[in-house]
């Protein structure tokens, strides 16, 4: 029984590491907050980040649901801690999305000001 728990816990840790490595490699570095000639890079990153956070939220829910059906209290606690960790990461990304949207809004405002002069 303990070996099954160890195998499951190892699998969870490896899965989390692979998920983290895959998702971080998929993300492009953030462009500077100032607008260049085209704000499409900012908008593309915002769109990608929105899709990424939605997928991540679904996976967090799956982890929490799995924790609810596990009989072993140690494994249940490990799953809950894992879900909490990922939720913290997701909350951080949502703050980043808010900042990115503010940068996009500033770009649009600058373009309108420059276009009306």
pTM: 0.62
What is the rounded CA–CA span in Å between residue 75 and residue 72? Answer: 5
Per-residue buried b or exposed e for 81-110, using 16+ beta carbons within 10 Å of the residue's own CB: ebbeebeeebeebeeebeebeebbeebeee
**pLDDT mean for each 10 residues of the chain (117 residues):** 53 56 52 58 88 96 94 95 96 93 87 75
Query: What residue ranges do the domains of the chain occupy?
Result: 2-116
């Amino acid at each position: 029984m303990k070996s099954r728990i160890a195998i499951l816990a190892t699998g969870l840790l490896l899965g989390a590491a692979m998920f983290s490595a895959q998702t971080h490699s998929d993300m492009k570095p953030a462009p500077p907050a100032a607008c260049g000639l085209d704000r499409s890079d900012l908008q593309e990153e915002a769109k990608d980040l929105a899709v990424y956070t939605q997928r991540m939220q679904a996976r967090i829910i799956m982890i929490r649901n799995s924790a609810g059906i596990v009989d072993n209290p140690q494994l249940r606690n490990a799953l809950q801690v894992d879900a909490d960790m990922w939720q913290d990461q997701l909350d951080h990304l949502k703050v980043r999305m808010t900042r990115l949207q503010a940068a996009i809004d500033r770009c649009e405002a600058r373009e309108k000001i420059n276009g009306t002069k």
